[in-house]
Structure 1
Amino acid sequence: VYPMTATSNRAAIKISVNLTKYNVIIGTLDQLSLIMSSAEQIQALFGELERFVNQGEYEKALKICDKILHGAPDDIDALHCKLITLIRLERYSEALSLWSKSFKAENKFLFERAYCLYRSNQLPQALEVIENAKAQDKVDVATRHLEAQLNYRLENYAACLSVYRSLLDEMTEEEGSYYEVLANYNAVKASMLTSKGTLDDKHAIDENVETYELAYNSACGQIALGNLTKAQSLLESAKKICRDSMVKEEYTEADIEQELAVIVVQLAYVHQLQGKTEQAIELYQSIAKSSAVDPVVAAVVNNNLVSSRKNQDLFDAAKKLKSASAKELDSKLFSHQKRVIAMNEALLNLYMHKYNACTDATQKLLEKYPDNDHLYLILAAVSAHQNKNSKAISDLETFAKKAPESLAIHFAIIQLELIESKHNAALNTLEQYLNNVKSKPQVYYQPALIALLVWLYEQTGQSERAMQTLDEASRQWKSGTSSSISTPPSSILKQTAAFKLKARRFQDAATDYEQLVKADPMDSQAIAGLITAYSEINPALAEKYGNALPPVESSSLDLATLERVVPGVKRQYMKKDGKDGPVKKKSKKNKKRKPLLPKTFDPSVTPNPERWLPQRERSTYRAKGKSKKAMAKGSQGASVTGGGIGLTGSANIGGAHKPAASSPVPEAEQKEEPVTSTAPKPKPAAKKKKKGKGNKW
C-alpha cells in the first residue's frame, strides 16, 4: 500500500480596482443642469461604493453598483466595480456572465475573466485567456502570478518555474512579497521532483528557513530527493517557526492547529518512509481527530493511515479510502495523489479477496498510466494470491516484453521462480534483464544486482562464473566509470574474497582482505580471512596479523568441573563425588502400573467370554414377553419333542418317548461355537387406511 505526500503550494492572487469616479458627462446647454445634477449623484454613489469596499461590505457595494448602472447603464467603471464585487463575493458564474455581456466585444479585463475561470476550475480555458492577454501585451504582475498558478495546477512545472524565476529576478528581498514568491518557487521544484522530473542546476533545492512556508517547501524537495533526515529537520523547524510566528500575531489555537496540520502530516509521512510506523500513525490520528482540517489534508491522512496499517482493519480502510476519493476532491488533488489513492483501492480489493474487482480497477488504471510498473505487479499478485504462481509468472513475462528495462517486473518474476525453487529459471530472468541494461553501467553494476547474480551462480553450481562476475564488477567499481561508487561495498568485497579463498586463489584473496583491513583495522572477520590467506602463501605475515586479533577471554573455571556439568540439570540435584572419574548413572527400573479393578471383582470367578458382546447377541439372551402376534409367527406344523398335535405340549398323543438325559461332557472337551448375530426383525407392515365415508377418493 502506497503513502503519498501532502500538497505544498499556496499562491495568493490579489485583485485591486480603482473605485473612484472622475468622469463628468456633458450634454447640450439646455440639459446641462439636469446632467450636472445626475453626475453629482453618481459621484456621491461612487464615494459610498468606495466606503463599503474598504469596510468589506460587498453585498452593500453590489447594491450601490446596481444603483449607478440604473442611472448610467454603460458606465465602464461601474461595470468594472460590479465585476470585482462579484468576484469578492465568490459569485464567479455571475461575474463571467457580466463579462460576456459587457466586455467581450472590446476584449477588456482579461485578467478578471481568467481568474473567474480559474476559480471555477476551468483551468485550460483560463490559461488560454492568459495567452490571449500576453499576445495583446496586456500582462501585469498579477496576470503573471495567475499564469504561474494555472501552470502549477495543470502540472506544467517547467513553465511554472520559468514564470516564478522571472518574477524573482525582478524583485528584491526587501519587497514584502519576495518570500511568498520564493516559497511558491520552491513548491514547484518539489512537485517537479515528486513527479519524477529533473531540475537544472539553476533550480537546485536550497534549505531556506526564513519563513515556515520556505522551510516546509524545502523539506518537500528533500523528500523527493530521498534525504529524509534533512527533510525531518526542516519540517521540525517549520513547525516551530509556524507556531511562534502565529502566536506572536495573536492567532487562536484553532487557527494555529489548522495551519500546522499540513506540516504535521508531512512529518508523519517522513516517519512512515523511515519505517517508524507507530510514530507516523500517532501523528496521523492526531490530525484525523481534528474537525477543522482541510479536505485535501484529510484525504492524505486517510490514505496514509490505510497504507501504514496495510492489510489490517480492511472495512475501516475501505471507509477511509472512499472518503479520500470523493468527487468533490477530484479538482483539488494532483494526478499523482489520485493515482496513489486509486491504486490503494485496487490493493484493498486484493486483500479482501475481491479478485475480479481488483483486476477491473487495475486495468482501468493501466489505460491512464500504461508506464506504471506497480500496476502490472498488482495484476500478477491477483494470480499469486490464488496460488496460481505459474499464471503470475506467465503474465509478468508478457509485461516484461513491454517494459524490458523494468527492474520491478523482472524482480517479481525472479521472486516467484525462487518460491518454486527454480534457480536456473531465476538466473535466466536476471541475465535477460542485465542484457537489456548492458548499455547502462550505472544500472548494470549495482551492488545488489551483482550480489544476487553471484548468489544464483553459486546455487546453480557455477562458482567459476560467479568469480568472473565479481572480478569484473570490482574492476568497474575501482575505475569509477560505472557509477558514483569508487570502491566496492565491504559486503561485496568480503563475498569476493571468500570466493577466491574457496577457489584456492590465496594471493587474490589476500589482496582483497588487505583492502578491507585498511578500511577498517578493527574488522576481525577481515583479519581472520587475511590470516587464512597468508597462512598458505606467507606464514610469517599470517603470524604477524595473528597478533592483531583480539585475545580470547580466559576463564577461571576448572575444565574437569565443566566436563562434569550435565546440561539441563540443576546444580543442587547433582551428586557430589570426591573422585575425578566419570559418574555412572544408575539404570532406572520400569515400574509396572497396577490395573484398576472394580470393588466387586472376584478373582476366583472366570470372566464371561461374551462380556464384550451386546446383550441381544449373547447366547443367554432371552427376549421378554412377546405379543400374541409375535407368538403366531414362525414355521407352521413343526415337530416339537414332547408336544401334542396342537403343539401345546400338554399331552404326548404321538406316543413318543422322552429321550434319556445325555451324559455331561467334560469341561476340557467343550468347544466354544461362534456366536452368530441375530437377523434384524422386519418392520411391521403399515396398516391400510379405511376409506372414509362420503369420499370416493
Structure 2
Amino acid sequence: MATPLKSLSALLAQTSLDDHDEILKAANASIKRSKTDIDAHHAKAIALLHLDRFEDAEKVFVDVPELQDKARFEYAYALYKAGNAAKAVKVAAAGESSTPMKHVLAQAAYRSENFEQAVEVYKELALKPGNEYQDIKINSGAVDAQLEWTGQGELAQKKRPEREDLEVFETAFNAACGSISRGELAQGEICLKRAKDLCNDLSDLSEAEKQAELWPIIVQQIYVLTQLGRVDEAEQLATTIPFAEIKELSTRYIAQVNSIAASKEHSNPYLSHRLFHSSPTPSRTDQFFSFQSNLLRQDEYVMDILVQKVAGVVSSTSKVISAAPAPTLSPAVNMAAVLNAAAHARNISEKAALKRILPLLEKRPNDVGLLLTITNLYVLTNNLAAATHLLESFFKRLEQSGSASDLDVRHAPGLVATLVSLYAKQGRHTHSKSELAKAATYWRHKSKSPSKSLLIAAGTALLDTHNQDSLVQAGEIFSKLYEQDESDRAAIAGLIAAYATSDPSKIPSDLTSQLPQVERLVSDVDAAALEDAGVPTLAPTAAQPPSSRKRPAAETSKSGKAKKIRKKLLPKDYDANKKVDSERWLPLRDRTYYKPKGKKGKKKMEGLTQGGPVVEEKAADGKQASGGGGGAKKGGGKKKGKGGKW
C-alpha cells in the first residue's frame, strides 16, 4: 500500500493546481491498486469538484462512507453543487463552524429555501473580519429578495435599496428583485437599468461572460414592462433574445414564457401552448424555486384550459388537492383548487359558475382555494352577505376542531384580511377590529416573527376604539414591533399613542424625540388661507344662520384671477353691464316686484294669496257669500243629466 501512496504524492507535487485531469488519473490508478486508500479517494473527489463533475464527486462520498467524516466540507459542498441542498444543510450544520463551512451552510440553506436559516448564517458571517464583505452583501441581498417573494418580508434585513446597493451590478440586480417582489415595479425598473449599465461597464469580463450575466436582467425587465402595461416595449425587448444562447435552462425557460406573455403574435392559444412546452426542462442542479414552479405550473394549467384540455386539468389538479391535507396554506395546492374550479366552470358567467362550483364545496368544505374562489364570485355578483357568511362559517369550523394546523389556517393573515375587507365594505367596523385583534393575539403568542402588516393593522384598529383594554393590547402589539425594529416609525408612533393616555411610564424616555416635530409637520400649512377657503367656524355669527357654518370659497383660478364663464353658457340677451336679477330663480308671481295686469289678474292674485286677509263679497240677495275656497252648498249647483245621482 506504500507504493501507490508515494506515487500519488509525487504526482501531486509535480503537477500544477489546475491540472486536475492528471490528478484524477493518478487517483484512479491508486484506487485501482488499493480500494481502501482513503487519501486517493479524497484526491479523486477534490479533482472531480474542480472539474465541475459534482454528481460524480457526490458518488465518491456515497461509495466511501469513511470519507464523509474526514472531508465533511468537501462532502457538503459536493451535495450542494449536485442539487441535494437539503442534505447539504444537515451535513454542514453538523460539521465544524469554520468560515468556509458557514458559507456552504448559507448557500445550501438558500437553495433548499430555508431562507430564515440563511439570514442568520449571513448575519454571523458579516460579523467576522475579512475581505468577503462584498460577497456576503450580494448573497444577503439575494436572500432578502427571496424572503419577499415567499411572503416573509418581515425577516428581510433591508427593505429599501440604498446608494451603495447601486454601485455593483449584482447588488443592483438583487435590489431590483426585492423591489419587484414588494410590488414596487417602478423602483425595480430603475434598479434593473442600473444593473444593466454596471454590467456593460465591467472590464474584467469577456463579452460572452457579460452576456451571460445580462440575460437574467433582460428577462426580468420583460416581466416588469409587462406588469406595467407597456406590452409593446416588452415585446420589442423579447425579440432581441436568442433563446438558444442562454446556457442556464431555468433562465431560458422563464424567458420563453415571458416572451409569450409579452407577444401580440401569440394570440392563438394553440400556438402559445406549443411554444410554452418547447423549452427544455432544467437539470437537477438548475431547478426553479418553489414560487417560480407554482407560477409556471399555473401557467401550464391556464394554457391547457385555453386549448380546451379541461378534463386533463380537472384530473391533474384533483390529484394535487387530494394528496395534501385540508385545510392547507400551501400556494401550490390552493392554486390547483382555483384552477380546478375554473376548469369545472368552463368560462361561463359568475352566477352560472356558482351553480356549478357550489356542489364541489360540499365535497371539499375545507378547501381554502375553492372557498376563496366562491367568495370572489359572491363579491362579483354583489352578494357580500353570502361571502361573509361563507368565511365566518369556515372560521367557526376551524375553531371548533381545535387542531393546531387548523388554527394556523383560521388566523392566516390573507384569510383574515379577506374577511376584514368584507366587513369594511358593509360598514361593520366593530367586527373588523375584533377580527384583527383576535388574529394579532394569536400570532403574538404563536410565532416569533408574526406578520408585521397584520400587527400594524390590528394595533391601529385597537387604537381607534378608545377603549382602555384595547389601548393596552395595542401597546403590547406596538411594543413587540418596536423590539424587532427600533427604527420603525409606525411602531414608535403606535407605542406612544397607545400608552400616552393609558400608561405613560411604559414609554421610553428618549422615544418621543424620534417623532417628527409638530412645527415641521405644519410648516407648510397656511391657516389663514384655510380659514378664507371655508374652514368651519367655531360659532355662527349674528349675520349668519346656525344652519350655515361655512363661508364659501371665492371662485378663483389657480392664478388668483376670477373665473370667466364661457359664452355658450350665458343667455343670448346677456349684458355684462346690467345688474343680474337676484330673484330670477323664483316663479314670476312670487317675485316682489310682480304686479298683475287688469281686474281679472288682480282678483286671481287675491284668490291665490294663502294666509292673507279674505274679503267677503255680498251676494245678490244681500247674504254674505263665503270667501276663500269654500265649496258649493248641498243641493245647489248645476243639475246633472237624466239618471244622474247626487
Count, aligned residues: 454
Could you say if the C-alpha distance between residues 557 and 217 of structure 1 is closer, same or farther in structure 2, counting changes exceeding 3 Å?
closer
Could you say if the C-alpha distance between residues 291 and 71 of structure 1 is closer, same or farther in structure 2, counting changes exceeding 3 Å?
closer
The corresponding residue for 2:12 is 46
Could you say if the C-alpha distance between residues 553 and 283 of structure 1 is closer, same or farther in structure 2, counting changes exceeding 3 Å?
same
The corresponding residue for 1:212 is 169
Q: Distance in 1 between the 2:81 and 2:413 partners?
A: 46
Q: Does 1:191 align with 2:149?
A: no
AA in 2 matched with 1:360: S
The corresponding residue for 1:283 is 237
Give 1:160 shift.
1.5
Give 1:396 shift.
7.3
AA in 1 matched with 2:47: T
- After TM superposition, the structure 1 = structure 2 runs for residues 252-271 of structure 1, keeping only pairs within 5 Å, are 252-271=206-225
TM-score, normalisation: structure 2: 0.58
CA contact (8 A) 2:82 2:285 kept: no
Q: Distance in 1 between the 2:335 and 2:59 partners?
A: 46
The corresponding residue for 1:320 is 275
| Counterpart among 549, 554, 557 of residue 566 in structure 2 | 554
Q: Distance in 1 between the 2:128 and 2:141 partners?
A: 17
Q: Distance in 1 between the 2:221 and 2:32 partners?
A: 56
User: Any unmatched runs of 5+ in structure 1?
Assistant: 1-23, 26-34, 419-424, 456-473, 487-517, 531-535, 563-697
Greater shift, 338-347 or 306-315, is seen at: 306-315
C-alpha deviations, 1:535-580, integer Å up to 9, x for none?
x976876674364587353328996599xxxxxxxxxxxxxxxxxx
The corresponding residue for 1:243 is 200
Q: Does 1:394 align with 2:358?
A: yes
Q: Distance in 2 between the 1:386 and 1:104 partners?
A: 64
The corresponding residue for 1:113 is 75
Q: Distance in 2 between the 1:65 and 1:440 partners?
A: 57
Q: Distance in 2 between the 1:100 and 1:393 partners?
A: 51
Q: Distance in 2 between the 1:188 and 1:475 partners?
A: 32
Structure (1 or 2) with the larger CA radius of gyration: 1
Q: Secondary structure at the match of 1:333?
A: coil
Q: Does 1:385 align with 2:347?
A: yes
C-alpha deviations, 1:110-135, integer Å up to 9, x for none?
22223333333333433343344x2x
| Counterpart among 140, 147, 163 of residue 105 in structure 2 | 147
Give 1:170 shift.
0.9
Q: Does 1:231 align with 2:188?
A: yes
AA in 2 matched with 1:264: I
Could you say if the C-alpha distance between residues 42 and 61 of structure 1 is closer, same or farther in structure 2, counting changes exceeding 3 Å?
closer
C-alpha deviations, 1:471-524, integer Å up to 9, x for none?
xxx99997799998x9xxxxxxxxxxxxxxxxxxxxxxxxxxxxxxx999999x
CA contact (8 A) 1:414 1:430 kept: no
Q: Secondary structure at the match of 2:154?
A: coil
Q: Distance in 2 between the 1:398 and 1:193 partners?
A: 35
Could you say if the C-alpha distance between residues 399 and 361 of structure 1 is closer, same or farther in structure 2, counting changes exceeding 3 Å?
same
C-alpha deviations, 1:27-57, integer Å up to 9, x for none?
xxxxxxxx9xx99876643332x32xx3x33
AA in 1 matched with 2:83: N
Give 1:252 shift.
3.5
Could you say if the C-alpha distance between residues 396 and 355 of structure 1 is closer, same or farther in structure 2, counting changes exceeding 3 Å?
same
CA contact (8 A) 2:81 2:285 kept: no
Q: Distance in 1 between the 2:309 and 2:529 partners?
A: 55
AA in 1 matched with 2:11: L
Give 1:143 shift.
2.1
The corresponding residue for 2:622 is none
Q: Secondary structure at the match of 2:190?
A: helix
Give 1:262 shift.
0.5
C-alpha deviations, 1:599-632, integer Å up to 9, x for none?
xxxxxxxxxxxxxxxxxxxxxxxxxxxxxxxxxx
Q: Distance in 2 between the 1:479 and 1:280 partners?
A: 48
Q: Secondary structure at the match of 1:402?
A: coil
Q: Distance in 1 between the 2:526 and 2:317 partners?
A: 49
CA contact (8 A) 1:381 1:392 kept: no
Give 1:155 shift.
0.9
CA contact (8 A) 1:242 1:260 kept: yes
Q: Distance in 2 between the 1:180 and 1:92 partners?
A: 22
AA in 2 matched with 1:312: S
TM-score, normalisation: structure 1: 0.54
Q: Distance in 1 between the 2:412 and 2:80 partners?
A: 46
CA contact (8 A) 1:209 1:238 kept: yes
Give 1:307 shift.
4.0
Percent identity reads: 20
Q: Distance in 2 between the 1:71 and 1:475 partners?
A: 76
Q: Secondary structure at the match of 1:265?
A: helix
AA in 2 matched with 1:277: V
CA contact (8 A) 1:195 1:336 kept: yes
Q: Distance in 1 between the 2:359 and 2:545 partners?
A: 53
Q: Secondary structure at the match of 1:107?
A: helix
CA contact (8 A) 1:157 1:192 kept: yes
Could you say if the C-alpha distance between residues 72 and 296 of structure 1 is closer, same or farther in structure 2, counting changes exceeding 3 Å?
closer
Q: Distance in 2 between the 1:336 and 1:167 partners?
A: 27
AA in 2 matched with 1:361: S
The corresponding residue for 1:5 is none
CA contact (8 A) 1:343 1:362 kept: no
Could you say if the C-alpha distance between residues 179 and 396 of structure 1 is closer, same or farther in structure 2, counting changes exceeding 3 Å?
farther
C-alpha deviations, 1:208-266, integer Å up to 9, x for none?
22321111112212222222222222221111111112xx22x3333322211111112
The corresponding residue for 1:586 is none
Q: Does 1:337 align with 2:345?
A: no
For the aligned residues, what is the CA RMSD? 4.9
- After TM superposition, the structure 1 = structure 2 runs for residues 272-311 of structure 1, keeping only pairs within 5 Å, are 272-289=226-243, 291-308=245-262
Could you say if the C-alpha distance between residues 336 and 431 of structure 1 is closer, same or farther in structure 2, counting changes exceeding 3 Å?
same
CA contact (8 A) 1:117 1:126 kept: yes
C-alpha deviations, 1:61-91, integer Å up to 9, x for none?
3334456668888765554333311222344
Q: Distance in 2 between the 1:404 and 1:100 partners?
A: 42
AA in 2 matched with 1:302: Q
- After TM superposition, the structure 1 = structure 2 runs for residues 603-642 of structure 1, keeping only pairs within 5 Å, are none
The corresponding residue for 2:405 is none
Greater shift, 346-355 or 386-395, is seen at: 386-395
Of structures 1 and 2, the one scoring higher in RCO (CA 8 A, sep 6+) is 1
Q: Does 1:356 align with 2:311?
A: yes
Could you say if the C-alpha distance between residues 544 and 69 of structure 1 is closer, same or farther in structure 2, counting changes exceeding 3 Å?
closer
Q: Distance in 2 between the 1:522 and 1:306 partners?
A: 55
Q: Distance in 2 between the 1:158 and 1:189 partners?
A: 10
Q: Distance in 2 between the 1:261 and 1:180 partners?
A: 21
Q: Distance in 2 between the 1:365 and 1:521 partners?
A: 66
AA in 1 matched with 2:355: K
Structure with greater proportional helix content: 2
The corresponding residue for 1:545 is 553
Could you say if the C-alpha distance between residues 180 and 441 of structure 1 is closer, same or farther in structure 2, counting changes exceeding 3 Å?
closer
AA in 2 matched with 1:363: S
Could you say if the C-alpha distance between residues 143 and 395 of structure 1 is closer, same or farther in structure 2, counting changes exceeding 3 Å?
farther
